[in-house]
Structure 1
Amino acid sequence: MNDQLPGKELSKPQRLVEQALTTLQHFLHVEAISGIVLLAAAAVALLWANSPFAHSYHDIWNLPIPLRLGELGFVRPLHFWINDALMTVFFLVVGMEIRRETHEGALSKLDQAILPVLAAFGGVIVPALIYLGFNSVTGRSNGWAIPTATDIAFAVGVLALLGKSIPGNVRVFLLALAIIDDVIAVLIIALFYTSGLDFNGFIVAALGVLMALGLQRIGLGSAYAYIVPAFIVWAGFLMAGVHPTLAGVVLGLITPVRSNRPEIVPPVIRVETALHPWVAYGIMPIFALANAGVSFAGVELAGGAQFVTLGVALALCAGKPIGVIGATWLAVRTGWCRLAPDVSWGGVCLIGLLAGIGFTMSIFIAMLAFTDDKLLDAAKLGVLFGSLIAVTLGLGWGAEYAQRQRRESGD
């Protein structure tokens, strides 16, 4: 018999399922609260950058911070250490989320992953086309990828505000979609926003990866032992001309999903669980504080910059829903996929609207896309406006959808 008898220990498959559910619940809880913290940090940045103390906002992020190893010195502004170093930890957690989901989560089976994958691609292609429709000229066209990513923290946070009437499978669909969005965004950064590659840097990065794999092979479980290999990978990517934060993704993808000892939680879950609150409540709000401070007095929506703002905003609040809902409808209509139980078309519409909330990754890509401060500020303004509209539409439709779900369930 396969039934579990009362008082007996859980079987290994049951333990894995329980661990996966616990991790998912913890993830959703942290993301829901951190979305509010992230919003507060963005609001503080906007108020600060448009206050009489605006000069101090820009001065603090340009403060030079040195890193010294013996006689070697490496000096960069605080803004660099936040965007290029601290955000590596954010991408490490992203990489581990992808690793875990492909092993035992929403991306582990093709029939489970194919619908959110297709929906995510629709949510990337349509916003990019809308943006290019307004900004096909050289210079502005480089920002086509800005509206292609969904902010997991904001999207899940808004969904949490709608209460428990939203079916669990709708939450899983949104989470899978956002994670796939992150995968696509990482690939876009690697393929389209790197130039002047130095292959010696890749050799250094590969050495760091091999060191990390070697430590895993001998069973060394202390996270502190991996700091040196991680730094070598980061420095190698920086030398190579690839954005160094991608080192976090690489290290996250090679984090083991199985433990050498049955009673120990797998490293990918243990490390992600430990880092996730620090990323959600610390790193992402700091990033928002350092990058969301657009001075409205300094924004010049002229000379084409206004089309950058319009293109980004429309691509997020309209292009994302059209792409996600349209791709999902097409996949179901053609018989390639089926909607999961309890996921209605009302739920798909809610997912599409919330997918238009781009913030962390959108601003990050904007800084890679534009060196012109006018275009960069215009792009950030578009991200803020588009995301705000998406939040408003998502909450409005979500409240109606949640009320409908409560009526159908008889609550």
Structure 2
Amino acid sequence: MNDQLPGRHLPKSQSFAERALATFQQFLHVEAISGIVLLVAAAAALLWANSPLAHSYRDVWSQPIPLRLGAFAFERSLHFWINDALMTVFFLVVGMEIRREIHEGALSKFDQAILPVLAALGGVVVPALIYLSLNAGAGPDQGWAIPTATDIAFAVGVLALLGKSIHGNVRVFLLALAIIDDTIAVLIIALFYTSGLDPSGFAVAALGVVMALGFQRLGFGSAYAYIVPAFVVWTGFLVAGVHPTLAGVVLGLITPVRSPSPEIAPPVIRVETALHPWVAYAIMPVFALANAGVSFKGMELSSGTQFVTLGVALALCAGKPVGVIGVTWLAVRSGWCRLAPGVSWGGICLIGLLAGIGFTMSIFIAMLAFADTNLLDAAKLGVLLGSLISVTLGLGFGAEFAQRQRNEIED
């Protein structure tokens, strides 16, 4: 993690710019490949949950896994350790992405950030309204936030399949939109899916944050030194009643973005670069394997659950494009914003379609929204259907759009 990056003899500004570009390109490469891995894991979960060995699917993830520290014993299911502990690393990378984008990326300047921010807000509000219009009951309406998130890995992976004829700024816009989506999803989880808050837990979490900041001040460069503060923050959130994975976001947001030496990449880049492949190729596929296994055997979509499935699916594949494209058009038409060079309205339409791929974060929110198994399975089915339709529409439109781009270049 202390390896030096190319550019040690370049001027500081040029070295910094090249390092940021290299990080961005590596991020896109990892996300593109991980989208395929994620798809394979989701397909495997569905096959497993609907095979003759379906009974073992639930049994495996419900196996109790104890954590013992001396006389202290803490026992939870394997499903808990994946969703509430392992996914904390996923949220840590999300927090670092947000921190880096605020410092030097798409969120660093108002004029650059405002258009993807407005587009992301449209892609949150419209799907939520579509879902609520179909699920006005006291129970199902808790799932309004499920279709508001975009899966970065899937969306970028599909975009990568369309080839290099898609302008780079279209990729930047999609990535910024997805990161802002993640930011909004994190805020939604913190504000709307927490209950019975215990102030003592926040005190413990604050102690962990102070420890992490203190280690930074003392110059602790090894990531391993921050395992203890991270565990303290995670435990504090768990005790407080806030979903403990949000500890990762907090720690990511306080990761330093400046390096003590211009020849060494900042901690936020070094740690994110080290963790990103693990998240993309291991943590997210394991999460998909543990949570995407919806059993169709004996599934009965009653009048309540069928609208959950329909609401989620329709909100993703229709609400997301309408929200993203519509708000972008309004912002540009009103003169508040303008499209970046190389980003046409065809590119915006492609982004809107791909924004409907909500897989990972949508399933995660669904598990927070519904304790009822029938509602949860219906929501997961809606996520799978809506994301599949969005992938199909995105690939279909994207292939035609990419061909037009190639023709324009040749002409």
Fold conserved between structures, TM > 0.5 = yes
Output the amino acid matched with 1:369.
Answer: A
Task: Tell me the equivalent position of 2:369.
Answer: 369
1:322 aligns with 2:322: yes
For residues 56-90 of structure 1, give each alpha carbon's deviation from its aligned partner in whole angstroms, at most 9, with x where no partner exists. Answer: 11100000000011111100000000000000000
Output the amino acid matched with 2:62.
Answer: N
Task: Tell me the equivalent position of 2:3.
Answer: none
Counterpart secondary structure, 2:51: coil
Distance in 1 between the 2:347 and 2:280 partners?
26
Task: Tell me the equivalent position of 1:76.
Answer: 76
1:304 aligns with 2:304: yes
Task: Tell me the equivalent position of 2:121.
Answer: 121
Distance in 1 between the 2:31 and 2:9 partners?
32
Output the amino acid matched with 1:281.
Answer: Y
Distance in 2 between the 1:205 and 1:13 partners?
37
Counterpart secondary structure, 1:66: strand
Counterpart secondary structure, 1:194: coil
TM-score by length of 2: 0.98
In the TM superposition, residue 10 of structure 1 has moved relative to its aligned partner by 1.4
Distance in 2 between the 1:49 and 1:89 partners?
26
In the TM superposition, residue 106 of structure 1 has moved relative to its aligned partner by 1.0
Contact 1:90-1:283 at 8 Å conserved across structures: yes
Distance in 1 between the 2:8 and 2:126 partners?
52
Task: Tell me the equivalent position of 1:276.
Answer: 276
Task: Tell me the equivalent position of 2:35.
Answer: 35
Contact 2:209-2:229 at 8 Å conserved across structures: yes
Task: Tell me the equivalent position of 1:243.
Answer: 243
Name stretches of at least 5 consecutive residues in structure 1 with no aligned partner.
1-6
For residues 353-409 of structure 1, give each alpha carbon's deviation from its aligned partner in whole angstroms, at most 9, with x where no partner exists. Answer: 000000000000000000000000000000000000000000000000000000111
Task: Tell me the equivalent position of 2:402.
Answer: 402
Task: Tell me the equivalent position of 1:345.
Answer: 345
For residues 236-269 of structure 1, give each alpha carbon's deviation from its aligned partner in whole angstroms, at most 9, with x where no partner exists. Answer: 0000000000000000000000011221110000
Name stretches of at least 5 consecutive residues in structure 2 with no aligned partner.
1-6
For residues 2-27 of structure 1, give each alpha carbon's deviation from its aligned partner in whole angstroms, at most 9, with x where no partner exists. Answer: xxxxx993111111110110000000
Task: Tell me the equivalent position of 2:99.
Answer: 99
For residues 304-361 of structure 1, give each alpha carbon's deviation from its aligned partner in whole angstroms, at most 9, with x where no partner exists. Answer: 1000000000000000000000000000010000000000000000000000000000
Task: Tell me the equivalent position of 1:187.
Answer: 187
Identical amino acids, percent of aligned pairs: 82
Contact 1:48-1:54 at 8 Å conserved across structures: yes
In the TM superposition, residue 303 of structure 1 has moved relative to its aligned partner by 3.6
Task: Tell me the equivalent position of 1:51.
Answer: 51
Distance in 2 between the 1:191 and 1:298 partners?
35
Distance in 2 between the 1:261 and 1:211 partners?
23
Distance in 1 between the 2:297 and 2:278 partners?
34
Output the amino acid matched with 1:224.
Answer: Y
Distance in 1 between the 2:70 and 2:18 partners?
48
Counterpart secondary structure, 1:341: coil
For residues 214-240 of structure 1, give each alpha carbon's deviation from its aligned partner in whole angstroms, at most 9, with x where no partner exists. Answer: 000011100110000000000000000
Output the amino acid matched with 1:233.
Answer: V
Aligned Cα root-mean-square deviation (Å)? 1.0
Output the amino acid matched with 1:179.
Answer: I
Number of aligned residue pairs: 405
Counterpart secondary structure, 1:94: helix
Task: Tell me the equivalent position of 1:212.
Answer: 212
Distance in 1 between the 2:226 and 2:9 partners?
34
Contact 2:8-2:15 at 8 Å conserved across structures: no
Distance in 2 between the 1:312 and 1:8 partners?
50
Contact 1:219-1:260 at 8 Å conserved across structures: no
Contact 2:354-2:390 at 8 Å conserved across structures: yes
Task: Tell me the equivalent position of 1:143.
Answer: 143
Distance in 1 between the 2:106 and 2:357 partners?
21
Structure 1 range deviating more: 258-267 or 83-92: 258-267
Task: Tell me the equivalent position of 2:380.
Answer: 380
Distance in 1 between the 2:17 and 2:255 partners?
19
Output the amino acid matched with 2:323.
Answer: G
Counterpart secondary structure, 1:338: coil
Output the amino acid matched with 1:65.
Answer: I
Task: Tell me the equivalent position of 2:90.
Answer: 90
Output the amino acid matched with 2:52.
Answer: P
Output the amino acid matched with 1:316.
Answer: L
